[in-house]
Amino acid sequence: MLLLLPLILLLLLQLLLLLLLLLLLLLLLLLLLLLQKILPLLPVQLPLLPVSLPLPLLPVSLPLPLLLSLLLLLQLLLLLLLLLYTNTNTNTTTTTTATAGGAGTATTLLLLLLLIRLLLQLLLPQPPVPLPLPLLPVSLPLPLLLLLLLLLLLLLLLLLLLLLLLLLLLLLLLLLLLLLLMLLLLLLLRLLLSLLLLLLLLLLLLLLLLRLLLLLLLLMLLLLLLLLLLLLLLDAAIFT
């Protein structure tokens, strides 16, 4: 059970990473939907959404929210696949984890390509469009606002990475505690073995003492027999 504990902890960390990736994708989707709701209110219309993806992998150009929804569904399917095959043997679990990690990396790279294209469209030379939001006291240009939102997302990602580092540190501490427990068990076993050796030595000493006592008893019996023989000889000499 102690040997299986690091494998179980690694699988839990992989599940946590997939859940964090799903959370980031969901936040990105909500941000893009919010932008899609805000952009029609602007006096100048920007051709941001829908954005077609001219990749050879997709023969049909898809809108960006639909593409993100498909990527989210793919991540959910990968997570369910990993949850279904976690309780099988080690080879199947390793293959499923590697497949899920590769597909998750591919979808993450696809999302990064989409974000780079969106940023290039936003940062092209164009007149600044003020965004009259009631939450902001100062009207900001749309590229600056989007950059601020992206910075907030990056800060959130850094916080999540810090949480992951803390979890890894906790995992290392647990492994160190397990190693210390194993060392303590080995020391206890060594002490028990030394105690058993001491008991065996004491038993050997007791056996030697018993042997000496038996030898002393035999010597005493021989002395008594000699005394009896001497007494018999004296009686025979006196009566003759």
Q: What percentage of the chain's residues is helix, strand, coil (to nearest 5)?
A: 80, 0, 20
**Average predicted confidence (pLDDT) for the chain:** 68
**Domains in the chain: boundaries:** 21-31+64-120, 140-240
Residues in the chain: 240
At 154, give phi and psi (nearest 5°): -65, -40
CB neighbour burial string for 126-135, b if at least 16 within 10 angstroms, e if fewer: eeebebeeee
Helix (H) or strand (E) segment spanning residue 46: none
Helix (H) or strand (E) segment spanning residue 58: none
CB 236 within 8 A of CB 228: no
pLDDT tens across 108-118, in order?
Answer: 555 555 656 55
**Does the pTM exceed 0.75?**
no
Q: Closest Cα to residue 82, out of 94, 91, 69? A: 94
pLDDT tens across 154-185, in order?
Answer: 888 888 888 888 888 898 889 989 999 999 99
